[in-house]
Structure 1
């Protein structure tokens, strides 16, 4: 007998979470570093009281928006290499349902976060209670069931005894490198406050080992044969490389074999921008260098990639006759995509096994030289895009990135998620460290950047953290700026004002929808939103929330403002009204070198839609089914 401890369910959960650790490569990390919370009747007397009871066990952060709290936890988890994360508690009702978007983002991006929403009474003393969803055919359904499809694990704790197996299962999923994502433990508000005699063993320290599975010998042999037979192989590095900490192994493998490397959004930074084998971004938002080699590659070695439609240009990019795929991935679900040869293993372990099995193997030097030339030519295009010959002119969005490019060092971290910025960054950004590039593009969630910057800064307290947002994204979720002020976190927020959804506006025009509903403008006399821009002052808004604000109207002012923000010791906003992309020359972003499938109206009377459909039919005809 180890004895028991009498605690409420909420108190026991907090005491349990404080003693969970991860370990990888001999280094230990606390798994749940802190808890975010907004309190209502569904959690204030349970988890709220438990956090008051045990302030030394669990640090607490006060949030302003439930979705944003999840984003902050996810940003922390990504910056921590998925070895640490945060918990998030809300009340039942609007607070709980506000978690759904953040949970979806975490699960899609394979990033761990623990959600602890309150729930309706398990004992059902009255029916319905406040914020109860009445479902005539099922008495055990609450709004928290919305979280089931976006969670990797879900349980509702209707009895105190159920907490023990549920909490252990939750930790198993949070620490599983192939299955991790959002984990939800729904906690009925009456059960949270119930006392129970818990076994002391429940509160002993547990260390969850993050495994590095090695490849199966037969799969490894098949992958080696494919690589030896290839004449124009291309590595596609995805987020799994970074999650595994496999960057050094990838660099060594690319150097020894001469195989060039293209990166997905999640994989950018796997190689630094000046590595001789780096080709930059791949796919619809990729570089001309990477996409041209992808079209002629006879073998694609995918490492930790999900093969999304942006990466494959909606199935139109890998068009060389007989092109084959080898998929090195810790998740069998992803390893079997593209009908490729599977190599189910940890990215670092798998790369090391491939290198050991391919001693002396190297691509033809003429192919390696062609890759080098293509990369050099692309770098010249990046230089032109960043150039700003007139310092007194308003900067384009690309010139804003150029200003950051000239200022930021390897210690800086750059965060973005939505709008046209992810495409521009994927094409143009030159990562100086493996974790500098933090673009959330699995869900591309507007509003992610500011709360994620808070989570990243909490994980990396000595490093400058930048959140890049357009005006549309800023208006989605500026509330956590107050949290940054409250916590004294000197995040740097760059707000690019372009009066609407510039990215979707451009897409809308390309698919025949004429930019409808994408600009922030007054209504014109004909009822359309084509009047003057709305007189919204986002800089004044940021200042009202407690930030120091630096306004920039010219390239010269922008460069000064960015340097001032980088040195600031308080949360700072750089606000800049951007000039339109000129289309060509300095300040313009090179066009997409690969397609993206956005279906166009099959029948229409407006000429723009008719032309767009003709182009769509031409493009979709180039799709290649990956069937081996």
Structure 2
């Protein structure tokens, strides 16, 4: 240790003061002062094989644990390698802190050929995160980090980038106190606004609640509204907010045409924690009709969400749990609309539509869901096996968690996300379920799972390349090209990396192999082929 603490100590001390216990990242020439203080901090450092993998792992860590995920990179290519992961966290409102060095003070934009120099690194990161903050002294670090963590609680949780100039990181620090701030009380809705919504909801004949990712903290309240007769539809990010076996649960089918019809036919649509964007609707539209005839109620922590995509007639700004709790107090125990036959009809129509898109994925989901524990975390990808399969055919409860890059729809998320989830909650069963195309975007992170000795089943469902894009080409009368991929021998590749690797010949065999992999002392890659559509 040096006689004088450096800026690296300021960063590590601030992170530790905010309860950070795990960090994902890769050391590099310019961030070594961070690594000087890591061993004594007690924080676990998980080195990935690519900074994008570190970003995805931090994202999943946050989604599963409820605590911010943290990654550290070096400057230039290190942090720009993580940009796609940070954009993914931004699209899905995930609290992630990315820490990186930056150019020395006074050199930003100088174009002098500094190692890893970017025209404007901070501006590049600011474009894909909630904000990028550059400090100018080490003494600023404790307050800046405290502000970032306070924002994760009080504002819409999105990724933040913290840039520390190399000369600040390597310079001296006065060892100012690093402390977290008291958490401000959650935002509560105005009582008169709640009363207006409660009145409308109590009189509704065809209401529907749509729960997005922002409703996850309000699972008990969503269930209570469903108990009173309110049909609940979820987006993909909201999957698992309500037990999908509940008689008023309609599943995670917001993108289905039948769901669009149900929302448009409703006299009250209660949107909780969702922007109801294109990634939720898949090109469909929600047009609820004229104000006064049909009411759109929106519940969100972010006031800017109130009129996105679907304009709110009755906006309720506040924490979803507190807003719904207030609504429950103001509405009758049985809503006028209570009719489980209506929910049953809607669910049947939605299931029928999902079934058409779900082949051959449904059998895989059924087999795995029956053989794995009920609180399994499923790390998916922008793969058909996820958005046609897991989303519709794996019945979730609030005990489950689907990790899926909904908004940014990136490939390569699943494997590192599974790693991040397992680091966050080692006692929980976690499985990666991805397509063969997606697997090759981040297959190198299998080495990270081996190194960490994580008992992860990594199921690669092989449909012969980029099947979705192949199908879109055929639909547009374009000759398929660049979509039929040569692939490695996946089980052999896994074994070469030190993992277990095996093929699967049937859904039953796949389920048995996945269950056994949860008990192994390291990851198991299972290669399962399906016939492309």
TM-score (norm 2): 0.91
Against the structure 1 CA distance between its residues 207 and 167, is the aligned structure 2 distance closer, same or farther, given a 3 Å change threshold?
A: closer
3-state secondary structure, aligned to 2:465: coil
Contact 2:49 2:445 in 1 (8 A): yes
Against the structure 1 CA distance between its residues 185 and 551, is the aligned structure 2 distance closer, same or farther, given a 3 Å change threshold?
A: same
1: CA distance, partners of 2:79 / 2:158: 17
1:320 Cα offset (Å): 6.1
3-state secondary structure, aligned to 2:29: coil
| Cα-to-partner distance string for 1:173-230 (whole Å, 9 max, x where unaligned) | 2333x3321111112222111113233xx23x42542642221123213322332342
Instruction: Tell me the equivalent position of 1:75.
Output: 60
Q: Which moved more, 1:322-331 or 1:347-356?
A: 322-331
Contact 1:281 1:287 in 2 (8 A): no
Is residue 49 of structure 1 aligned with residue 23 of structure 2?
A: no
Instruction: Tell me the equivalent position of 1:169.
Output: 147
1:482 Cα offset (Å): 0.9
Instruction: Tell me the equivalent position of 2:457.
Output: 492
Is residue 234 of structure 1 aligned with residue 219 of structure 2?
A: no
Aligned with residue 114 of structure 1, among 78, 90, 97:
97
Matches within 5 A, 1:211-360: 211-242=185-216, 245-256=217-228, 258-284=229-255, 286=256, 288=258, 290-318=259-287, 322-337=293-308, 338-340=310-312, 341-360=314-333
Matches within 5 A, 1:382-397: 396-397=360-361
Unaligned ranges ≥5, structure 1: 21-29, 136-140, 388-395, 521-533, 582-628
2: CA distance, partners of 1:383 / 1:185: 45
2: CA distance, partners of 1:109 / 1:236: 16
1:380 Cα offset (Å): 7.8
Against the structure 1 CA distance between its residues 130 and 187, is the aligned structure 2 distance closer, same or farther, given a 3 Å change threshold?
A: same
1:399 Cα offset (Å): 2.2
Aligned with residue 528 of structure 2, among 561, 570, 576:
576
Contact 1:173 1:183 in 2 (8 A): no
2: CA distance, partners of 1:463 / 1:364: 39
Against the structure 1 CA distance between its residues 386 and 267, is the aligned structure 2 distance closer, same or farther, given a 3 Å change threshold?
A: closer
Is residue 9 of structure 1 aligned with residue 4 of structure 2?
A: no
Aligned pair count reads: 524
1:277 Cα offset (Å): 0.8
Unaligned ranges ≥5, structure 2: none
Contact 2:299 2:316 in 1 (8 A): yes
2: CA distance, partners of 1:318 / 1:511: 28
Matches within 5 A, 1:113-192: 113-122=96-105, 127-133=112-118, 135=119, 141=120, 143-176=121-154, 178-192=155-169
3-state secondary structure, aligned to 2:528: strand
Contact 1:119 1:187 in 2 (8 A): yes
3-state secondary structure, aligned to 1:195: coil
Contact 2:236 2:254 in 1 (8 A): no
Against the structure 1 CA distance between its residues 325 and 508, is the aligned structure 2 distance closer, same or farther, given a 3 Å change threshold?
A: farther
3-state secondary structure, aligned to 2:30: coil
1:557 Cα offset (Å): 3.1
Instruction: Tell me the equivalent position of 1:611.
Output: none
3-state secondary structure, aligned to 1:424: helix
1:313 Cα offset (Å): 4.9
2: CA distance, partners of 1:435 / 1:6: 47
1:409 Cα offset (Å): 2.8
1:89 Cα offset (Å): 1.5
3-state secondary structure, aligned to 2:88: helix
Q: Which moved more, 1:163-172 or 1:414-423?
A: 163-172
Instruction: Tell me the equivalent position of 1:402.
Output: 366
3-state secondary structure, aligned to 1:479: helix
Against the structure 1 CA distance between its residues 537 and 323, is the aligned structure 2 distance closer, same or farther, given a 3 Å change threshold?
A: farther
Against the structure 1 CA distance between its residues 208 and 548, is the aligned structure 2 distance closer, same or farther, given a 3 Å change threshold?
A: farther
Matches within 5 A, 1:478-489: 478-489=443-454
Instruction: Tell me the equivalent position of 1:33.
Output: 21
Instruction: Tell me the equivalent position of 2:490.
Output: 538
3-state secondary structure, aligned to 1:349: helix
Contact 2:415 2:445 in 1 (8 A): yes
Against the structure 1 CA distance between its residues 439 and 380, is the aligned structure 2 distance closer, same or farther, given a 3 Å change threshold?
A: same
| Cα-to-partner distance string for 1:373-409 (whole Å, 9 max, x where unaligned) | 443576688899999xxxxxxxx43322221122123
Instruction: Tell me the equivalent position of 1:564.
Output: 516
1: CA distance, partners of 2:443 / 2:494: 8
Against the structure 1 CA distance between its residues 206 and 165, is the aligned structure 2 distance closer, same or farther, given a 3 Å change threshold?
A: closer
Against the structure 1 CA distance between its residues 37 and 556, is the aligned structure 2 distance closer, same or farther, given a 3 Å change threshold?
A: closer
Is residue 103 of structure 1 aligned with residue 78 of structure 2?
A: no
| Cα-to-partner distance string for 1:492-520 (whole Å, 9 max, x where unaligned) | 10001122111222233334445443222
1:475 Cα offset (Å): 0.7
3-state secondary structure, aligned to 1:279: coil
1:126 Cα offset (Å): 10
Q: Cα RMSD (Å) of the superposition?
A: 2.6
TM-score (norm 1): 0.78
Q: Which moved more, 1:328-337 or 1:446-455?
A: 328-337
1: CA distance, partners of 2:112 / 2:357: 63
Indicate the structure (1 or 2) with the bigger Cα radius of gyration. 1
Is residue 504 of structure 1 aligned with residue 446 of structure 2?
A: no
Matches within 5 A, 1:388-467: 396-420=360-384, 421-467=386-432
Against the structure 1 CA distance between its residues 319 and 162, is the aligned structure 2 distance closer, same or farther, given a 3 Å change threshold?
A: closer
Against the structure 1 CA distance between its residues 216 and 85, is the aligned structure 2 distance closer, same or farther, given a 3 Å change threshold?
A: same
3-state secondary structure, aligned to 1:280: coil
2: CA distance, partners of 1:210 / 1:468: 39
